[in-house]
Amino acid sequence: MSLKYRISPGERLRALKQLIEKKGFVRIIEAHNGLSALIGEMAQIEQDGEIIEYDGFWESSLTDSASKGIPDAEIVGTESRAHTIDEILNVTSKPIIVDGDTGGAPAQFEYFVKRLERLGVSAVIIEDKIFPKRNSLDPTAKQTQEDPEKFAQKIQRGKEIAVTDDFMVISRIESLIAGAGLEDALERAECYIRAGVDGVMIHSKKESPDDILSFAQAYNSLCERLGRRPILVSVPTTYNLITDRELAKYGFNIIIHANHLLRAAHKSMYESARAILMNDRGFEAEPLCSSVPEIFSTVGFDVIKEKDRKYLREQRLSVIIPAAGKDPAFADRPKSLIRVANKPILDYQLENIRKAGLRKTVIVKGHEGKQFDKEFSDKNLIFCNNDHYEDKHSLYSLFCAEDYMKDGFLLLYSDILLDGGHLQKLINSKGDIVLLVDSSYRYHKHEIDKKLDLVISKQQRAARYYRSLRPMGLVEITRVGKKIDIEVANYEFIGAAYFSEEGAQIVRKIYQDCQQTAVGRFHEAESFAHAGVTDLLQEVIDRGFMVHGLEIYQGWMEIHSRKDIEIAEQEITPVVG
Ligand code: SPV
Ligand code: MG
């Protein structure tokens, strides 16, 4: 899902300070490449009804080097480190703290600070050792500390380069690692605080947290004396029995789990590699590995596939507008060409169809069909003729465009104006036959001057017209038609419906079947030949197929009278916006 996590560099940079202020302490997980960072971004547990996750990343020198097969001794250069940092930033949204090793020479550190801040990194931690440092967890490596005054100067130079107050330069005190003791650590802390550092990391490789807890207590007193308390950072790799919350109680504000994802990967990789050799096949290694679909899902391959499908579907999907009928109120033209604010309704519809990403529009013409040729001959539309518009009804008209239904279609009545977003939601809804239904028909209809297409849903939701945070949802439809009692209905079908490839196949098959077999009344129609679209939909439901309703309660209007036109003209901006 790597495309999902997006944030501007500035916003991400600020987030670390904000989180510390809000929560008191933050939990940070190591990342050494895009994949480990995605795992750190997504990892979540629920505990006592609370979601717990990591607050950000530690771009570790140990794990960045190790993942390249190189020792942690300032051998991997700045360019390579910047590349890893960028890889992590590229796929995540949480703040990042970079392990700056010794920071190199002061001038190198200045350039590094400039670069990190520009990228959106929130903090850099540099350790008070002499270049080239050796990893602090090695029990036998020689650890040489830098002169504190010289180190303080490097901190100052870094601080001067940062352009925002949000970017933090944190000093890492190595006195406990180098065996110089608590006193030395505290003296250095004072020196670095006076130099303007934003935080102090106290490191230890002991299994007991006693030393760093003593430091934390003395640090709090020191800061009280100095009148400023830079945040305090701990890396509990070796003293790992103490919990993050306990460390926070001692005053630690940033707790870094510095190498676990790399060590976990290393172990599984090693064991899997051996398991294949030992068994001469991959089967035994499987339990040690994530599945390929899990990897696909983490990196967002499934999202790409879904988008490919969506765009392909949108390209192939036809919009069918049956516009053959004659409306007595506007007898001189097809309904599509009724003008609202000087523009035919069809123009508004085409604009929304385009916004929804759909390409193919099919118009079924009949009454005064020639008028389309004058106005719409150059608009890349497909026309079908309904020569029986005077004696047949909407179902027949729709099926005049049957040739364009195969890849799925969107049915749009010719006399409705609606918000483009509704079409987009309709074609993205997760149903095969989905009608756009309005839950506010009882309140909104200015004059109920025609029989409405009403809908009863399985889920009995009260009709509503008020605003609600409840997301637009799909409801299952049990009845649809004009003869439903308005008091019993839950919705009005507004005249826009989506049929997926499968949905289109279902309605076509049932239509063809009914053509052969239907006798006498057909639902609300006197015969199948005179059926409306809703009669076929009821037949689909009665045959056991699922028809859904996607609820809306505003952002559309039906044009039936001159009064409707007046209302639409007053509201035209929000209606088509
Ligand atoms: C790192 O993760 O690279 C660190 C922490 O600097 S430690 O390895 O404990 O020194
Ligand atoms: Mg390091």
Q: Is 235 in the pocket of ligand 1 (CB under 6 A)?
A: yes
Q: Is the pLDDT of residue 463 over 60?
A: no
- pLDDT score for 575: 46
Catalytic residue list contains 72: yes
Q: Encoding tokens for residue 360?
A: 């193919």
- Mean pLDDT for 544-557 is 88
How many CA atoms lie within 13 Å of 469's alpha carbon, on the beta-carbon side?
A: 0
- CA nearest to 125, candidates 67, 211, 70, 61: 61
Q: Which atom of ligand 1 is nearest to the CA of 127?
A: 6
Both 330 and 272 in one domain: the answer is no
Which residues have CB under 8 Å from 333's CB, separation 6+?
368, 371
What whole-number percentage of the chain has pLDDT above 70?
Answer: 95
Task: Categorize the per-residue pLDDT at 460 as very low, low, confident or very high, splitting at 50, 70 and 90.
Answer: low
Structural domain total, the chain:
2
The tens digit of pLDDT for each residue in 282-298 reads 999 999 999 999 999 99
Q: How far is the CA of 298 from the centre of ligand 2 (A)?
A: 27
401 lines ligand 1 (CB under 6 A): no
pLDDT at 468: 46
pLDDT at 546 over 50: yes
Range of the domain at 468: 307-576
What was the pLDDT predicted at 503? 96
Which numbered atom of ligand 1 lies nearest the CA of 237?
A: 9
Confidence of residue 469 (pLDDT cuts 50, 70, 90): very low
Q: Do 155 and 206 reside in the same domain of the chain?
A: yes
146-159 confidence digits (pLDDT tens) = 999 999 999 999 99
Whether the pLDDT of residue 324 is over 60: the answer is: yes
Going by C-alpha positions, the residue among 409, 356, 357 that lies closest to residue 382 is 409
CB–CB of 457/476 below 8 Å? Answer: yes
Nearest CA to 477 out of 510, 436, 505, 507 is that of 436
Average pLDDT of the chain, as a whole number = 92
Query: What CATH number does residue 387 fall under?
Result: 3.90.550.10
Residue 122 in contact with ligand 1 by CB distance below 6 A = no
State mean pLDDT over 238-266.
98
Burial 189-205 (b: 16+ CB within 10 A, else e): bbbbbebebbbbbbbbb
Q: Answer whether residue 561 shows pLDDT above 90.
A: no
Q: What is the mean pLDDT of residues 402-409?
A: 95
Query: What are the φ/ψ torsions at residue 478 (nearest 5 degrees)?
Result: -110, -30
39 CA from centroid of ligand 2 (Å): 21
Which among 235, 268, 301 is the end of a domain? 301
Q: What is the pLDDT of residue 573?
A: 56
Backbone φ/ψ region at 182: left (φ over 0), alpha (ψ -120 to 50), beta:
alpha
How large is the average pLDDT for residues 413-425? 89
Q: Are residues 30 and 133 in the same domain?
A: yes
- The answer to whether the CB of 234 is under 6 A from ligand 1 is no
Distance CA 532, CA 21 (A): 63
Banded model confidence at residue 517, pLDDT cuts 50, 70, 90: very high
54 sits in the region (left: phi over 0; alpha: psi -120 to 50; else beta) called beta
Q: Which residues contact 378 (CB under 8 A, 6 or more apart)?
A: none
Instruction: Say how far apart CA 436 and CA 475 lie, in whole Å.
Output: 10
Question: Which residues 6+ apart lie within 8 Å of 79 measured at CB?
Answer: none
Q: Is the pLDDT of residue 443 over 50?
A: yes
DSSP 8-state symbol, 208: S
Top mean-pLDDT range of 300-309, 391-400, 456-465: 391-400
Q: Based on the domain organization, do 66 and 138 belong to the same domain?
A: yes
The predicted pLDDT at position 105 comes to 96
Whether 312 and 257 share a structural domain: no
Residue 137, ligand 1, Cβ within 6 A: yes
Of all protein residues, the one whose alpha carbon is nearest to atom 5 of ligand 1 is 258
What are the tokens at 385?
């003729």
Residue-wise pLDDT for 207-247, tens only, equals 999 999 999 999 999 999 999 999 999 999 999 999 999 99
Distance CA(74)–CA(61), nearest Å, equals 8
Tell how far the Cα of 533 is from the centroid of ligand 2, in angstroms: 69
Q: What is the CATH number of the domain that holds 279?
A: 3.20.20.60
Look at residues 399, 381, 402 and name the one whose alpha carbon lies nearest to residue 389: 399
Do both 369 and 409 map to the same domain?
yes
d(CA 111, CA 472): 50
User: 522: exposed, middle or buried (C-beta count within 10 Å: 0-12, 13-18, 19+)?
Assistant: buried
Distance of CA 157 to the CA centre of its chain: 40
Model confidence over 112-153: pLDDT tens digits? 999 999 999 999 999 999 999 989 998 888 899 999 999 999
Q: Pocket of ligand 1, candidates 137, 138, 171: which has the most ligand atoms within 8 Å of its Cβ, to mutate?
A: 137
Ligand nearest to the backbone CA of 177: 1
In this prediction, residue 451 carries a pLDDT of 77
Residue 306 vs residues 8, 301, 360, 543: alpha-carbon distances, Å? 26, 9, 21, 30
Q: Model's pTM, two decimal places?
A: 0.72
How far is 264 from 555, CA to CA, in rounded Å? 53
Structural contact between residues 421 and 353, judged by C-beta atoms closer than 8 angstroms? no
pLDDT at 447: 53
Q: For ligand 1, atom 10, which residue shows the shortest CA distance?
A: 136
Q: Is 405 in the pocket of ligand 1 (CB under 6 A)?
A: no
Nearest Cα to 242, choosing from 201, 202, 203, 210?
210
Q: How far apart are CA 351 and CA 37, in angstroms?
A: 42
> How far apart are alpha carbons 468 and 84 in whole angstroms?
44
The answer to whether the bond into 106 is cis (omega within 30° of 0) is: no
Percent of the chain with pLDDT over 90: 76
Residues 296 and 313 in one domain: no
Q: Which ligand has the nearest atom to the CA of 138?
A: 1
Tell which residue, 265, 266, 220, 258, has the closest CA to residue 239: 258
Task: Find out whether the beta carbon of 99 lies less than 6 Å from any atom of ligand 1.
Answer: yes
pLDDT of amino acid 577: 41
Q: How far is the CA of 203 from the centre of ligand 1 (A)?
A: 9
Across 170-184, 277-291, 543-557, least confident range = 543-557
CA of 258 to the centre of ligand 1 (A): 6
The whole-number average pLDDT for the span 172-184 is 97
For 569-576, what is the mean pLDDT? 63
Q: How confident is the model at residue 419 (pLDDT cuts 50, 70, 90)?
A: confident
Q: Is 60 exceeded by the pLDDT of residue 491? A: yes
Query: What was the pLDDT predicted at 449?
Result: 54
Lowest mean pLDDT among 75-79, 308-312, 431-435: 308-312
Tens of pLDDT, residue by residue over 327-370, are 888 888 998 999 998 899 999 999 999 988 898 999 999 999 99
Who wins on pLDDT, 283 or 567? 283
DSSP 81-139: HHHHHHHHHHH--S-EEEE-TT--SHHHHHHHHHHHHHHT--EEEEESBPSSP--TT-S
Contacts of 348 (CB under 8 A, 6+ apart): 340, 417, 576
| pLDDT score for 439 | 83
CA of 256 to the centre of ligand 1 (A): 10
State how far Cα 68 lies from the chain centre. 32
pLDDT of residue 558: 81
73 in contact with ligand 1, CB cutoff 6 A? no
Exactly one of 72, 99, 198, 564 is catalytic; name it.
72
Ligand with minimal distance to 143 CA: 1
Instruction: Identify whether the C-beta of residue 414 lies closer than 8 Å to the C-beta of residue 338.
Output: no
Three-class SS state of 364: strand
pLDDT the model gives residue 462: 52
Residue to mutate, 28, 129, 259, ligand 1, most ligand atoms under 8 Å from C-beta: 259
Mean pLDDT calculated for residue range 377-381:
79
Q: Is 67 in the pocket of ligand 1 (CB under 6 A)?
A: no
Q: Could you tell me if 339 and 197 lie in one domain?
A: no
Q: State whether 349 and 283 are in the same domain.
A: no
Q: What are the beta bridge partners of residue 257?
A: 29
* CA 12 – ligand 1 centroid, Å: 23
**Whether residue 205 is found in the same domain as residue 58:** yes
**Whether pLDDT at 379 is above 80:** no
> What pLDDT, on a 0 to 100 scale, did the predictor assign at position 500?
93
> What is the number of the ligand closest to the CA of 262?
1
Least confident of 10-14, 167-171, 405-409, 469-473: 469-473
62 within ligand 1 shell (Cβ under 6 A):
yes
26 and 62 in a single domain? The answer is yes
Please give the pLDDT value at position 315: 85
Residue 415 or 562, more confident: 415
pLDDT at 78: 95
Is the pLDDT at 407 greater than 50? The verdict is yes
Are 418 and 567 in the same domain?
Answer: yes
- Supply the Cα-derived Rg of the chain in whole angstroms: 34
- Residues with Cβ within 8 Å of residue 126, at least 6 apart in sequence: 100, 101, 102, 103, 109, 154, 155, 158, 169, 170, 171, 172
